[in-house]
Chains A and B, each alone.
Chain A
Amino acid sequence: DAKTTQPPSMDCAEGRAANLPCNHSTISGNEYVYWYRQIHSQGPQYIIHGLKNNETNEMASLIITEDRKSSTLILPHATLRDTAVYYCIVSASNSGYSTLTFGKGTMLLVSP
């Protein structure tokens, strides 16, 4: 699996958009970009994933650059409950295995 690079920490004011970057310069053509988050002492929670098109769901938006070497997760209106570690993961979908390689992620702190 390709490696990802994320900033170790970010701050965001409550109500503002949180934009979390991820670099995945060695991503392969069949690898998806996944985002998960982990709130303290809980299991990771799936947020969103995409291949090359931008994606949006009720939680967030995922913007993938045209060359697919980087992406940004956008939480449009961050709340205190969005404080968590956010993991960007790239992984192939054709392995048939439900496995993910987690990096260190970005600790997002949302403050009042």
Chain B
Amino acid sequence: KAGVTQTPRYLIKTRGQQVTLSCSPISGHRSVSWYQQTPGQGLQFLFEYFSETQRNKGNFPGRFSGRQFSNSRSEMNVSTLELGDSALYLCASSPRGGLNTGELFFGEGSRLTVL
């Protein structure tokens, strides 16, 4: 069974640009959540989607957005990039969308560098 796939794995952007990251969850998983990881702030929750609906959102500005498609694949977008957006962006999928599943399956992440 294929794991969570994130693309691209690495990318470099400049300030003011926008970026779109993609996440393909494990087949059959309907919940996809996104996290940002930086050395200073650690792992922080961005948002979670279940059946194409955003169910929960972390404390990030509106420049960070996402969506989920009918096949459960998800994208996140960051507009007007800032230097502080440089981070590892991680996607995780879950089979039933509830914490009582006990397990989130994480991808390898997309490492974004903003110059």
- A interface residue numbers (CB < 8 A to B): 32, 34, 36, 42-46, 49, 87, 91-104
Asked whether A44 lies within 8 Å of B97 as measured between CB atoms, the reply is no
Cα of A100 to Cα of B98 in the assembled complex, Å: 11
Name the residue in A46, A91, A96, A102 with the highest tally of chain B Cβ atoms < 10 Å from its Cβ. Answer: A96
Q: Count of B residues near A, CB < 8 Å?
A: 29
Asked whether A98 lies within 8 Å of B102 as measured between CB atoms, the reply is no
Cα of A103 to Cα of B44 in the assembled complex, Å: 9
| Least distance between B79 CB and chain A CB atoms (Å) | 23
Interface mask (B84-115 → A, CB under 8 Å = 1, otherwise 0): 00000010101001111111111111000000
Asked whether B106 lies within 8 Å of A44 as measured between CB atoms, the reply is yes
Which A residues are CB-close (under 8 A) to B33?
98-99
| Least distance between B5 CB and chain A CB atoms (Å) | 11
Cα of A58 to Cα of B28 in the assembled complex, Å: 24
| Least distance between B14 CB and chain A CB atoms (Å) | 24
- B26 at the A interface (CB under 8 A): no
Cα of A93 to Cα of B94 in the assembled complex, Å: 13
Cα of A49 to Cα of B48 in the assembled complex, Å: 21
Asked whether B48 lies within 8 Å of A98 as measured between CB atoms, the reply is yes
Residue in A45, A93, A103 whose CB lies within 8 Å of B98? A93
Asked whether A98 lies within 8 Å of B108 as measured between CB atoms, the reply is no
